[in-house]
């Protein structure tokens, strides 16, 4: 089951951070409450996939800690805020993007601070896929975009941390007890 994979991946990430990057570990948010998740779901108009729900119940995003190279995982509140911002931008007559608000086709799960996100797409399907949405609104669900599903995404991050291996052209390093990613 995907949710158990999420919980195991977070356990591996937490253990590594607690041992190697204690400041980053201390900065991770507490789990989201059921109410926080339900509020975000209501704002967007779609139930979160079980693996996203499980991740948020482990940690409500990653705060300022880049669990993924260049990206922080979004809290339930920021998932809703970033999605609604994309909706607002898509309504601008000078943009080519369209965001379906009647039946959302994707929701953001991470952000880079510049408008790009990893997203979960194909909502309502058997296994929502991880994709990438750039700051211009272009979506890419090509194979290899950080894994096929959210479980893969977190497992790749956990594995890269444990082995200090490259992930998406970046290697994890610890500087002053904080996790950082160096370009290879």
Q: Is residue 142's pLDDT more than 80?
A: no
Q: Is residue 147's pLDDT more than 80?
A: no
pLDDT of residue 54: 97
Q: Is residue 73's pLDDT more than 60?
A: yes
Q: How far apart are CA 155 and CA 81, in angstroms?
A: 26
pLDDT of residue 124: 61
Q: Can you read off the two tokens belonging to residue 18?
A: 């607690």
* Chain position carrying tokens 């994890």: 172
Reading phi first (left if > 0) and then psi (alpha if -120 to 50, else beta), residue 152 is in alpha
Contact 69, 181 (CB under 8 A): yes
pLDDT of residue 136: 82
* Confidence grade of residue 11 (pLDDT, cut at 50, 70, 90): very high
Widest distance between CA atoms in the chain: 50
pLDDT of residue 121: 86
Mean pLDDT of the chain: 89
Q: Is residue 172's pLDDT more than 80?
A: yes
Q: Where are the domains positioned within the chain?
A: 2-96+150-183
Count the neighbouring beta carbons within 10 Å of the beta carbon of residue 19: 10
Average confidence (pLDDT) over 54-78: 97
- SS3 of 103, please? coil
* Per-residue model confidence as pLDDT tens digits over 80-134: 999 998 877 776 666 666 555 555 788 999 999 998 999 998 666 667 889 888 8
């Amino acid at each position: 089951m995907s949710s158990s994979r999420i919980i195991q991946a977070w356990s591996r990430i937490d253990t590594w951070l607690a041992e190697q990057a204690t400041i980053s570990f201390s900065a991770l948010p507490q789990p989201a409450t059921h109410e926080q998740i339900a509020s975000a779901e209501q704002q967007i108009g779609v139930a979160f996939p079980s693996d996203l729900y499980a991740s948020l119940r482990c940690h409500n995003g990653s705060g300022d800690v880049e669990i993924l190279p260049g990206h922080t995982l979004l809290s339930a509140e920021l998932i809703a805020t970033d999605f609604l911002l994309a909706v607002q931008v898509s309504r601008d007559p000078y943009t080519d993007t369209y965001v379906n608000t009647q039946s959302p086709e994707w929701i953001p799960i991470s952000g880079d601070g510049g408008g790009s996100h990893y997203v979960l797409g194909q909502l309502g399907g058997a296994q929502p896929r991880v994709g990438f949405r750039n700051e211009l609104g272009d979506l890419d669900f090509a194979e290899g975009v950080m894994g096929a599903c959210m479980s893969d995404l977190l497992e790749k991050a956990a594995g890269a941390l444990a082995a200090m291996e490259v992930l998406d052209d970046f290697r994890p390093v610890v500087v002053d007890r904080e996790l950082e990613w160096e370009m290879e």
